Structure 1
Amino acid sequence: MNDTATGLIAPLPGSLAPHRVRYLPITDRPRIRWPNDARVALWIAPNVEHYEFLPPRDPQRNTWTRSPHPDVQGYGYRDYGNRVGFWRMAEVLDRFGVVATASTNLAVFDHYPEVGAAMVERGWEIMSHGIYNTRYISSIDETAERAFYIECIEALRSHTGQQLRGMLGPAVSNTVLTPDLMAEAGLIYHADWFHDDQPVPLATRSGQRLVSVPYSMELNDVPVFTQHFDTSEFVAMAKAQLDVLRREADDDAGGRVMCVALHPYLMGMPHRVDGLAAMLDYLMSHDDVWQTTASQIAQHFLDHHYDNFVAHEPESPNARPKVASTGIASPAGHAQGSAAAGDPAQAYEFGPAQHQHGMDHPYYDWSPLPSRPRFEWPDRSPLAVGAVVVLEHVEWEPPPDAYSLRRRSGGLARLPAPDYPQLTIREYGHRVGIFRLLDLLDRHGIAATVAVDALTAEHYGWLAAHLVERECEIAGRGIAATRLITSKNSEADERAAIARSLDAIESATGIRPTTWFSAEGVESFRTPALLAEAGIDTVLDWPNDEQPVLMATEGVLAGVGRPDATPPMVSLPLFLEADDEFALWHRRVPLDGWREIVTGAAARMHRDGAEHPAGSRLLVLTLRPWLAGQPFRVPTLDTALAQVMALGNIHTATASELAVHARSTLR
């Protein structure tokens, strides 16, 4: 497993960096059986932490960002957890017989021996969360990190007599070598991977066995309570999560894992702790739930399933014949300077204001809704409903000149590299969430268009073939979520990036896309024209209407105006307010609020499509498997789609099918 030249592991076949995990879709892997045929292994993880009043300076990350150190408010808030909240929370866990896995900053045993003794007396497993939550391992070298594990092991043994079995990195910090050094120190599980509903083997350079035990960044009181939600939503999320996982455990993959992550300074608050009791009352009431610890999950997997997972090869779906790629073999660069001299984008980006009627770009006309001719979908349906499912990859180490959004969603606030949460939460979508969403859309008869980036197409061949087998339309999505096409690209680099994206999909599926949905919905000035040049006739980037919009692209690159295109490109406006990332992540809309957005918009569009002179409307939902495909969110989406389809006379089709009708009708 070891690459002796670098000290890193040799890449697993077909894997993406960091090459720790083979792709095994949840639909094709060995069956897991938990003790007593339990459906779900449930572990409860209180995070018992110490934040230093004046932490040492870290070159990559500042603990207290609200003010110069000390941040008395932030420090005191967390101190409340150890002084008050821990005891209130522990009493509730005792009441329900929970044996917790305490993610513990091991200095807690020195600073607060009463807290340490209380955990030991209760028989809780202690999982390392580092020494302090203000000392990150992402900034240290291999020698220091190796010493860090020795310190953690000795600290736990001296205070409790326990053997350290696993770790959640301090403040979820890690290095590229973390799994290797953990395994070499004798640990058996790592909790910083959020990519699955089951344990997963992690490759190490020594070949020593290490298991990913799924922790949660979703059923976690920090992101829930610090992002505008509170107790009732958290309890409902946990109940829905368990319901879905119990139901899914009857499939071929078998037993699932569910983690609930808690923090005493949040869940131990007087106005929340009764919610914890309500949550546990439900979770612990099922005979087919194995309430256990992280190390017991890991050990059972190692003893009974690890070897089968390592040896298993997914059965290839019956994909269409593949064709050789004709595109760019290496990643396109990302020039960060201004647009090149002579670029037609120059005039539009930096020229004087244009005091003219209509749009200030050449791609489509100004068209107010009241003055349009009537547009109708087939069978005079007042509303067409579609879904765009996004499969995107966040790179372990993006090229240094690549551009990505500052507010990229997923995981925690952006962490210093390597950012395990950002990488692994999207991997969850590829391994698990995609199948939930596609099954749900099938159940409601809604056609799916799946937007796939180049790195996904190149490295998830099984999944690409599966999409073809399910007759999903596949749209281009660029190279990766960490390499956006923007006006900072040169025209040549953008053209190469588009070609690589389309070539990768064609090579993986035998089908060359004609539909495009840019990564993060970001374009350059010239993107529509370059897409048309590459054979794209349908774009999904512009959320500007409730009906399809014809776009003209001919002559734009040459700067000669906007003659009529033949045939025109069609823009299918996605409904941004219902986009799962926009609503659930950026705006933090509660799940019931998201359902109301979807169903309320559909009902009004359905009525307007029937009664308004402009005619039929379009509702395209954007769904991400790592986000909308989480177990606790799927029931809400299921309810929303049922209400939408119950409106009656709904037309549903893929993006390209909708565009074909729009092009023939609107012209």
Structure 2
Amino acid sequence: MEQETSKYPLSAHPNDGRPVYGQRATRDLVGYAGRPPTVKWPKSAKVALNLVLNYEEGAEKCLLHGDQESEKLLSEIVGASAYANERHANMESLYDYGSRAGFWRIHDLLRRKGATCTVFAVGMALERNPDAARAMVDAGWEVASHGYRWIDYQNVPEDEEREHIARTVEIHQKMIGERPVGIYQGKPNVNTRRLVVEEGGFLYDSDSYADDLPYWTNEFGDRPHLIVPYTLSENDMRFAIPNGFSNGHEFFVKLKDSLDYLLEEGRRGSPKMMSVGLHCRLVGRPGRAKGLEEFLDYVQSLGDDVWVCRRDEIAKHWYENHYPTDVKSSL
């Protein structure tokens, strides 16, 4: 390194050439290095499939809750932007659709198909709709934490984020009857995972898109912490962006292609997991729900090759079968 530093004095850095780097080794570009653990899912499934329903409606930015701007997420209106100090009536109604109609359509569809799921539930949204909370429990779904607000936590002060994590745990206990064991903050910051580990009650977090299998980190605390990665690819948020999905069948094709590829890897001896991201206000629309229904019918046709499961079931399987004796580095 000394030679390289002297050769390239303007660009040399202590992390040059390191596959694991950053404060507390926060980045790992190598991972399993093409040698993932031997995974044996229940019933010898080739893929562990987890459907994730993001329940966010009522927790987005809104002046009616004291925020300084309205929600700016692109939804049905391409080009929609944040309104500073003004309500955004159209955006409010688009989110309202998710909790009023979309949730119940998806709930009915998953129940009819016998498919379980994990809900990433924002605390404030959950608290605003007790009927939806009860329906999640009655369906036997896992209800994981999606933070207290559906906001960007990038610049939220540490003490405030710590309070949000504690507050949403309390809301889950009240609305669901038990605390969440998983968390996906969604828009985290560099402190989020440390605060999650510090809280002490989470089996896993999903604030990573770095792998097709769970993995461990010893980044914080004195015991390994499990990460069950999520996805932005097999995700209905692509309905909400320019050049994204235009109809339910495109969504089905994307999901089927992803599952088929992972199935072939599993049949060659390397089973993986697959996450599917769903949103009440997006795939809860009738024509889009049809694509999800097509996919669920296809999954059913594959029998035991696909383990349709909750995220906490994946986490518990990993604890029981892949708990590390020595964690050197990870995200």
Q: In the alignment, what sits opposite 1:181? A: 195
State which of 197, 205, 208 in structure 1 corresponds to 2:220.
Answer: 205
The question of 1:63 aligning with 2:80 is answered: no
Q: In the alignment, what sits opposite 2:22? A: 17
Residue 187 of structure 1 aligns with an amino acid whose one-letter code is F
Instruction: Assess if the C-alpha contact under 8 Å between 1:238 and 1:279 holds in 2.
Output: yes
Q: How does 1:22-61 map to 2 (within 5 A)?
A: 22=28, 23-25=30-32, 27-49=34-56, 50=58, 51-54=60-63, 56-57=66-67
Instruction: Assess if the C-alpha contact under 8 Å between 1:188 and 1:209 holds in 2.
Output: no
Q: Shift in Å at residue 260 of structure 1?
A: 0.7
How far apart, CA to CA, are the structure 2 residues paired with 1:249 and 1:41?
10
Q: Shift in Å at residue 226 of structure 1?
A: 2.8
Higher relative contact order (CA 8 A, sep 6+): 2
Q: In the alignment, what sits opposite 2:77? A: none
Q: In the alignment, what sits opposite 2:136? A: 119
Deviations 1:104-150 (A, max 9, x none): 1122332111111111111111111112214x432233322222221
State which of 206, 209, 214 in structure 2 corresponds to 1:191.
Answer: 206
Instruction: Assess if the C-alpha contact under 8 Å between 1:184 and 1:208 holds in 2.
Output: no
State which of 282, 285, 293 in structure 2 corresponds to 1:266.
Answer: 282
User: Residues 98 and 177 of structure 1: is their aligned pair in 2 closer, same or farther, counting only changes over 3 Å?
Assistant: same
Deviations 1:327-348 (A, max 9, x none): xxxxxxxxxxxxxxxxxxxxxx
When Rg is computed on C-alpha atoms for both structures, the one with the higher figure is 1
| Stretches of structure 2 lacking an aligned partner (at least 5 in a row) | 1-14, 73-80
Deviations 1:594-647 (A, max 9, x none): xxxxxxxxxxxxxxxxxxxxxxxxxxxxxxxxxxxxxxxxxxxxxxxxxxxxxx
Q: In the alignment, what sits opposite 1:155? A: 171
Deviations 1:557-580 (A, max 9, x none): xxxxxxxxxxxxxxxxxxxxxxxx
Tell me the secondary structure at the aligned position of residue 107 of structure 1. helix
Identity level (%): 29
Residue 290 of structure 1 aligns with an amino acid whose one-letter code is W
Q: Shift in Å at residue 57 of structure 1?
A: 4.6
Q: Shift in Å at residue 280 of structure 1?
A: 0.8
Tell me the secondary structure at the aligned position of residue 205 of structure 1. coil
Deviations 1:266-313 (A, max 9, x none): 11112222211101111232211111111111121122113168379x
Instruction: Assess if the C-alpha contact under 8 Å between 2:61 and 2:71 holds in 1.
Output: no
Residue 293 of structure 1 aligns with an amino acid whose one-letter code is R
Instruction: Assess if the C-alpha contact under 8 Å between 2:206 and 2:227 holds in 1.
Output: yes
Tell me the TM-score normalised to structure 2 length. Answer: 0.82
Q: In the alignment, what sits opposite 1:628? A: none
How far apart, CA to CA, are the structure 2 residues paired with 1:21 and 1:292?
29
How far apart, CA to CA, are the structure 1 residues paired with 2:192 and 2:255?
30
User: Residues 245 and 87 of structure 1: is their aligned pair in 2 closer, same or farther, counting only changes over 3 Å?
Assistant: same
The question of 1:102 aligning with 2:119 is answered: yes
Tell me the secondary structure at the aligned position of residue 24 of structure 1. coil
Tell me the TM-score normalised to structure 1 length. Answer: 0.42
Instruction: Assess if the C-alpha contact under 8 Å between 1:21 and 1:200 holds in 2.
Output: no
How far apart, CA to CA, are the structure 2 residues paired with 1:67 and 1:99?
38
Q: In the alignment, what sits opposite 2:12? A: none
Deviations 1:18-51 (A, max 9, x none): 5235422452232122122211111101111122
Instruction: Assess if the C-alpha contact under 8 Å between 1:183 and 1:209 holds in 2.
Output: no
Instruction: Assess if the C-alpha contact under 8 Å between 2:130 and 2:175 holds in 1.
Output: no
How far apart, CA to CA, are the structure 1 residues paired with 2:300 and 2:98?
24
Instruction: Assess if the C-alpha contact under 8 Å between 1:183 and 1:208 holds in 2.
Output: no
- Which one is further off, 64-73 or 121-130? 64-73
The question of 1:139 aligning with 2:155 is answered: yes
Instruction: Assess if the C-alpha contact under 8 Å between 2:70 and 2:88 holds in 1.
Output: no
Instruction: Assess if the C-alpha contact under 8 Å between 2:204 and 2:228 holds in 1.
Output: yes
How far apart, CA to CA, are the structure 1 residues paired with 2:33 and 2:284?
35
Residue 208 of structure 1 aligns with an amino acid whose one-letter code is R
Residue 163 of structure 1 aligns with an amino acid whose one-letter code is R
How far apart, CA to CA, are the structure 1 residues paired with 2:266 and 2:27?
22
User: Residues 14 and 276 of structure 1: is their aligned pair in 2 closer, same or farther, counting only changes over 3 Å?
Assistant: closer
Instruction: Assess if the C-alpha contact under 8 Å between 2:121 and 2:144 holds in 1.
Output: yes
Q: Shift in Å at residue 187 of structure 1?
A: 1.0
Deviations 1:343-368 (A, max 9, x none): xxxxxxxxxxxxxxxxxxxxxxxxxx
Q: In the alignment, what sits opposite 1:84? A: 101
Q: In the alignment, what sits opposite 2:258? A: 241
Residue 173 of structure 1 aligns with an amino acid whose one-letter code is K
Instruction: Assess if the C-alpha contact under 8 Å between 1:179 and 1:210 holds in 2.
Output: no
Residue 74 of structure 1 aligns with an amino acid whose one-letter code is M
User: Residues 183 and 284 of structure 1: is their aligned pair in 2 closer, same or farther, counting only changes over 3 Å?
Assistant: farther
Q: Shift in Å at residue 62 of structure 1?
A: 7.1
User: Residues 26 and 309 of structure 1: is their aligned pair in 2 closer, same or farther, counting only changes over 3 Å?
Assistant: farther
The question of 1:223 aligning with 2:250 is answered: no
Tell me the secondary structure at the aligned position of residue 34 of structure 2. coil
User: Residues 91 and 213 of structure 1: is their aligned pair in 2 closer, same or farther, counting only changes over 3 Å?
Assistant: same
Q: In the alignment, what sits opposite 2:3? A: none
How far apart, CA to CA, are the structure 1 residues paired with 2:89 and 2:191?
35
How far apart, CA to CA, are the structure 1 residues paired with 2:256 and 2:281?
22
Instruction: Assess if the C-alpha contact under 8 Å between 2:236 and 2:283 holds in 1.
Output: yes
Q: In the alignment, what sits opposite 1:129? A: 146
